[in-house]
Structure 1
Amino acid sequence: MERKLTKAERKDQRNRELCVLVKQNDLRAQTELLLENEGLIMRLAKSQEILHDLDVHHYAGIELDDILQEGRFAMLEAAKVYDETVKTKFSTFAAVVINNAMSDLCRKGDSSFERQLRDNGVAQVFLDDNPVDEDGVPIAEKISDGRVHDPVGEEAVLHVMLQKMRNRLVLLPDRERRLLMYHYGFKVQEFKTIEETAAYFHLSEKYLRIIEKKALETLRAGMNDGKII
């Protein structure tokens, strides 16, 4: 008597059949493969969202939907190169391909965000403040003044200070954090005026300045707390 396949085995069998059709550019098979494996794509995307704190930061404008879309593209690419004759389940194979694609997207987003802040002037990173390191030395004195000195060291210092700012942003109340992120362009890489920010959050400019002043004071105190990270 033939052994009855488990649910997982039946799903893998169907995935293998769909991969064959995907290789033939069958659009219906592509759609069905994505629908059958949407749960896997969602789990991997959520993991990347947590890993990169995208639910809080949204650096470089990358959001969960972007990661999901990248995962769907990667799923179809995995189907095109998957060998249906191997013992490895398609979901196991695809998970590696998808996760790598999602990680690359998030890393590019981080790099783009840091590059934009560097190109717009490191002062913007610190919200026009002049933070010091643990020895009381102004960070601005340790970063290039436009002449080439130690690009590797400068990049390392910038990376550390960016991470420090991110860590301090997380500690702010949600509304204050969102106001700063919107005004200074941390979410969409585009700086907004006080007027635009006030309109977006349905606040008067006067009240917005009060909220932002309090948030900046807290953030600047954190940036000058003497801790590296």
Structure 2
Amino acid sequence: MNRHYVEQLISQNIRLVYYVVFKYYADLIKLVGKDDVVSVGKIGLVIAAQRYDPTRGTKFSTYAITVISQQIYKEIIQKEKRRKKKGDYKLVYMDGDSEDMEDKGFYEMIGQDDADLRATEARIFIETILPKLPEKQRKAIELYFGLKGHQEHTQREIAPIIGVTQAQVNRLIKKGLKKLRDEVMA
């Protein structure tokens, strides 16, 4: 891919960095710092522009949002690992108040073991790409898997909630999951 094309992708899509940062990482900005998160997001945008393959049929913005989000998430984890070694933390509440913490931080908020970290990473990634699905597919998946604060529901329970039959719920979930898989593989 030529350099001019990469630079054009970056300059035309810089707003995606701010979109991802403020939509998906607003709460973590207080912990890590806005400038750091935005800088890492810009690195993600550059990586996305360099690796983008328009022949795969995915829009650049779709691909870039995923790469930016992954890059920010990785950087947050690395930065928090470094902080954990120092024991230098502040607990920041949603209302803006904070208190010093001894040997606590990000991991205590999301869980320390690998399974918890993988689950958190998957949740962040899913929250990044789930809004790209059509409304009924998105809602069916959220209800079926208990995402976005919903408890898990059976397909039979979901049908009247979204106004379709149980068979249609099954198809919506299957099609939605296929789209999510395709997005991950893109």
Q: Structure 2-normalised TM-score?
A: 0.38
The one of the two structures with greater contact order (alpha-carbon pairs below 8 A, sep at least 6) is: 1
Q: Would you tell me which structure has more strand in proportion to its own residues?
A: 2
Q: Which has the larger radius of gyration?
A: 1
Compute the TM-score of the two structures, normalised by the length of structure 1.
0.32
